[in-house]
Amino acid sequence: MTCVLHDGFGRQVSYLRLSVTDRCDFRCVYCMQEDMQFLPRKDLLSLEELDRLASAFIARGVRKLRLTGGEPLVRKGVMGLIGTLSRHLRSGALDEMTVTTNGTQLARHAAALADSGVRRVNVSLDTLDPVRSRVLTRRGDLGAVLAGIAAAKSAGLHVKLNAVALRDSTEHEIFDLLAFAQQGGHDLSLIETMPLGDTGEDRTAQYLPLDRLRALIAARFTLRASPHRTGGPARYWDVLETGQRIGFITPMSSHFCETCNRVRVSCTGMLYPCLGHEAATDLRAALRGSESDTALHRAIDTGLAAKPRGHEFQAGRLGEPALARHMSVLGG
């Protein structure tokens, strides 16, 4: 099967977010519990299976591949996987392969990522305050993250910073984050927190709608809507005074589902056609059931047919998780 992937609503799927592990060296308060129970390693797809699965999607028209976690760079052997997948960049079958990371392992791997054809990494950076960083991550070392960002830039990687907007925190730090991004030549995307999994925290107290944050920025700077798109959900604004770009990802306050072009696959081979629904299709059984990819493509088609029109996140229902699945399972 080589036909291009479409869902039941006619949307072409050209973007795969592939999780390589659910493990992470952080325990961010909006993402997971402090005492997490991670999957047994035996339940994860092998690196060879991850390659075969990604390659099947690429054969069906996926042009953008993002490797996620958890924290993808803590997966043993992941750099070998990235190196193997880079053949699709060299052949022209894939336009872009990117990595979403918390930055702690970037100092070790930035040069190798660049050598493998990765041109861009997304780095989570919610604060520039070391004390606040340790509170938000429950253990993280901000210094290691900043060193990773510096190493990525030195290796020639474009760094996009991702900050989850949190009430009583981001409002006070947004201009520091903007200045850091501007000085480093990085784009910055702001993301609304989502009701995925029980984190042990009150998401109602965490939630900060991005229209409020955009108004705060607009009170100091001139914002102009930008036509720039990366294939993801962010909508960008140019800051005229500084020449930088800010992305706003608003799953709670302003859905963008009508233009969704992506699906997600977990490190266990479960295809999730929508981040906001539990429905998933097992691709691992198809992978392991035959050396031929016929059953795998059939399972992919089944999963795509189940893709809903949109998710059902609502800001007024943040008190309880909308889904039991934690953000770390698929990387957001």
**The CATH number of the domain where 57 resides is what?**
3.20.20.70
Question: Is 301 among the domain residues?
Answer: yes
93-105, pLDDT tens digit by residue?
999 999 999 999 9
32-51, pLDDT tens digit by residue?
888 888 889 899 999 999 99
Which structure tokens are listed for 236? 């960008």
51 by DSSP, 3-state: which?
helix
Eight-state DSSP code of residue 324 = S
Q: What is the pLDDT of residue 232?
A: 72
Q: Which contiguous run of DSSP H or E holds residue 286?
A: helix 284-289
* Partners of 166 in beta bridges: 207
Given a cut of 70, whether residue 107 has pLDDT beyond it is yes
The number of folded domains in the chain is 1
Count of Cβ atoms closer than 10 Å to residue 278 Cβ: 10
Which residues are CB-neighbours of 16 under 8 A, at least 6 positions away?
54, 57, 58, 62, 64, 65, 66, 262, 263, 264, 265
Q: What is the pLDDT of residue 321?
A: 47
What is the rounded (10 degree) CA torsion for 66, 277, 26, 165? 90
Identify the CA nearest to 170 among candidates 191, 184, 149.
191
Question: Is 102 among the domain residues?
Answer: yes
Please say whether the beta carbons of 311 and 255 come within 8 A.
yes
Given a cut of 80, whether residue 316 has pLDDT beyond it is no
In whole angstroms, what is the distance from residue 11 CA to residue 135 CA? Answer: 40
Of the ranges 153-162, 193-202, 208-217, the best mean pLDDT one: 153-162
User: Which of 11-20, 35-44, 115-124, 292-301 shows the lowest mean pLDDT across its residues?
Assistant: 35-44
DSSP E strand boundaries for the chain? 15-19, 64-68, 96-101, 120-124, 158-165, 187-192, 223-225, 235-239, 244-249, 262-265, 270-272, 281-282
Q: How confident is the model at residue 8 (pLDDT cuts 50, 70, 90)?
A: confident
Q: What is the pLDDT of residue 315?
A: 46
Question: Is 5 among the domain residues?
Answer: no
Q: Which amino acid is at 203?
A: R
Question: Is 145 among the domain residues?
Answer: yes
Q: Which amino acid is at 89?
A: L
**Of how many residues is the chain composed?**
332
Q: What is the pLDDT of residue 73?
A: 97
Name the residue with tokens 């052997």.
77
Question: Is 73 among the domain residues?
Answer: yes
Backbone φ/ψ region at 127: left (φ over 0), alpha (ψ -120 to 50), beta? beta
Question: Is 132 among the domain residues?
Answer: yes
Which structure tokens are listed for 290? 């035959």
Eight-state DSSP code of residue 69 = S
177 CB-side CA count, 13 A:
27
Of the ranges 2-16, 139-153, 267-281, 317-331, the best mean pLDDT one: 139-153
Question: Is 10 among the domain residues?
Answer: no
Q: How confident is the model at residue 327 (pLDDT cuts 50, 70, 90)?
A: low
Question: Is 8 among the domain residues?
Answer: no
Name the residue with tokens 């099967």.
1
Q: How confident is the model at residue 203 (pLDDT cuts 50, 70, 90)?
A: low
In whole angstroms, what is the distance from residue 92 CA to residue 88 CA? Answer: 6
Average pLDDT over every residue of 179-200: 84
Q: What is the pLDDT of residue 255?
A: 67
- Domain holding 197, by residue range, is 15-329
